[in-house]
Amino acid sequence: MQVGNARCAVVVPTVGRPSLDALLDALAQGRGPRPVELVLVDDRPAGAPLRAERAGLPPVRVLRTGGGGPARARNLGWRSVRTEWVAFLDDDVVPDPDWYERLADDLAGLPPDVAGSQGRVRVPLPEHRRPTDWERGTAGLATSSWITADLAYRRSALAAVGGFDERFPRAFREDSDLALRVMGTGARLVRGRRRITHPVRPVDRWISVRTQAGNADDVLMRRLHGPGWRDRADAPLGRRPRHLAVSAAGAAALALAAGGRPRAALAAGLAWAAGTAEFAWARIAPGPRTRDEVTTMLATSAAIPPLATWHWLRGVVTHRRVTRWRGLPDLVLFDRDGTLVHDFPYNGDPAWVRPVDGAREALDRLRARGVRVGVVSNQSGVARGLITREQVDACTARLAELLGPFDTVQVCPHGHDDGCGCRKPAPGMVKAACDELGVDPARCVVVGDIGADVEAAAAAGASGVLVPTPVTRRAEVAAAPRRAGTLTDAVDGVLAGAW
Ligand SMILES: [Mg+2]
């Protein structure tokens, strides 16, 4: 029986590629202490359940996103684990046999200011011939910084920055963006000694054309991190300025020809042809120069400059107004009476626990994204002798029956004049809920129907959202920092980042 690695969980986002089997086989056969669990985040929109079972794996849990890209899949994965460290692996890598041992070594004794440890990447290239353009591109992974093919982060570091920015739709730049934001908090990332192999994936000849979509993500990086982002992310500029020039020459040639200026059109056309030929040769020269590779390079070298330019322009338009990524909160606390359930004052009867419309669905949507949910409820009827604590607990149990499990339930049984620290608007219950779950109050939202709820949130350092009812005082509605018409609207807003 292996000794476990209680500090760590492994998260693998996957689209169910065949390479997942090779990864799981390697993780089943590897030696060393097993992490607490292996979380597979199935990012396919549909499909039969993944078959992950193999002797030797850590306990496996499979989550489904329904599709949404690797950033969202990784977020769902890390939010669902409770270990100190989260080790991300991509579903197209093969860890070395001693990967578990070295992972434990890499994380052992790291000082608290180290938020992440990167594994080392090996990309096998053919020995008997020169590598193709695609193989050379993949080989670049071996020297890239902070790629999540194999990167372990402290869970607290992920929580502090809201995890991966889900506005990066593909497996490109989302890892650099996260690294820059984590380092922006003053934390460090280091390189460990564990190793993975990243085989070159078989692709069709148009792969280099499709990857031009990443030019839009580069625009997002610049908007988020400023003009110096490439240096900090170790991401060279590449050929985009030349692509722009070649595209401009091509467009000018067409425009001049259409405008009846053949000589000028010819000159522009020659400039385009020269630029395209230079680009094609730069890609052909270091390669194997087979007929297939040369054909692919010629065809794609004509297509890439205008496509790169197009995607870059698309990014300029799409990302013209971007805000800092906050991600989802780690915890949403709900007031009970008047918020989750209709308010029957001093109710002690479970039969009168009647959820508001959409409460179950709203809570389930938060749970499905890995956001924890809880209840913070003033029950001064206990202090007044109108209801017993047992009745309050019976109503809470009924609430969970109707609305699903809560990660924390905080009840204040005191009266208005008892001077306790828990009765809202005091922050006691919000703080206690955050403490219990290890959540920074700054990553917590409180949803309630009166001013005391949002005041308790503010006093604890959390965000408050008011969902007024007809009996909520006007002044409290006016004073609320954030309002929503219904519980459903409040949760929609939280999921959209408005909290
Ligand atoms: Mg209330």
Phi and psi at 348, nearest 5°, equal: -120, 10
- Rounded CA gap, 405 and 193, in Å? 41
How many Å lie between the centroid of ligand 1 and the Cα of residue 435?
22
Return the percentage of the chain with pLDDT > 70, whole number.
Answer: 99
User: Residue 1: what pLDDT?
Assistant: 42
Residue carrying the six token digits 């003053």: 186
**What would the pLDDT profile of 422-455 be if each residue is shown by its tens digit?**
999 999 999 999 999 999 999 999 999 999 999 9
- Rounded CA gap, 394 and 353, in Å? 10
CB 33 within 8 A of CB 4: yes
What residues does 150 pair with on adjacent strands?
Answer: 89
Residue carrying the six token digits 């459903």: 488
pLDDT confidence bin for 3, thresholds 50/70/90: low
Please say whether the structural domain 8-202 has been given the CATH code 3.30.460.80.
no
User: Residue 109: what pLDDT?
Assistant: 86
Q: Rounded to two decimals, what is the model's pTM?
A: 0.92
Active-site option among 133, 330, 337, 449 = 337
**Is 337 marked active-site?**
yes
Sign of the four-CA dihedral 434, 330, 360, 469: positive
User: Residue 144: what pLDDT?
Assistant: 86
Mean pLDDT of 485-491: 98
User: Residue 143: what pLDDT?
Assistant: 85
- Rounded CA gap, 88 and 40, in Å? 10
- Rounded CA gap, 132 and 291, in Å? 12
Phi and psi at 9, nearest 5°, equal: -125, 150
The mean pLDDT value of the chain amounts to 95
Active-site option among 335, 349, 357, 453 = 335
CATH topology of domain 331-495: Rossmann fold (3.40.50)
How many Å lie between the centroid of ligand 1 and the Cα of residue 449?
5
What residues does 410 pair with on adjacent strands?
Answer: 376
- Rounded CA gap, 196 and 410, in Å? 45
How many Å lie between the centroid of ligand 1 and the Cα of residue 368?
25
**What would the pLDDT profile of 4-56 be if each residue is shown by its tens digit?**
899 999 999 999 999 999 999 999 999 999 999 999 999 999 999 998 989 99
How many Å lie between the centroid of ligand 1 and the Cα of residue 415?
15
Mean pLDDT of 158-164: 96
Domain locations in the chain as residue ranges: 8-202, 204-323, 331-495
User: Residue 141: what pLDDT?
Assistant: 87
Return the percentage of the chain with pLDDT > 90, whole number.
Answer: 94
Q: Determine how β-strand 114-122 pairs with β-strand 60-64.
A: unpaired
How many Å lie between the centroid of ligand 1 and the Cα of residue 354?
14
How many Å lie between the centroid of ligand 1 and the Cα of residue 475?
16
Q: Copy the structure tokens of residue 235.
A: 């991401």
DSSP states along 419-462: --SSSTTSSHHHHHHHHHHT--GGGEEEEESSHHHHHHHHHHT-
How many Å lie between the centroid of ligand 1 and the Cα of residue 116?
42
Amino acid (one-letter) located at 448:
G
Mean pLDDT of 113-135: 95
Q: Copy the structure tokens of residue 226.
A: 């400023």
User: Residue 62: what pLDDT?
Assistant: 96
- Rounded CA gap, 297 and 267, in Å? 24
Mark the residues whose beta carbon lies below 5 A from ion ligand 1: 335, 337-338, 449
Mean pLDDT of 132-154: 92
**Is 91 marked active-site?**
no
How many Å lie between the centroid of ligand 1 and the Cα of residue 355?
13
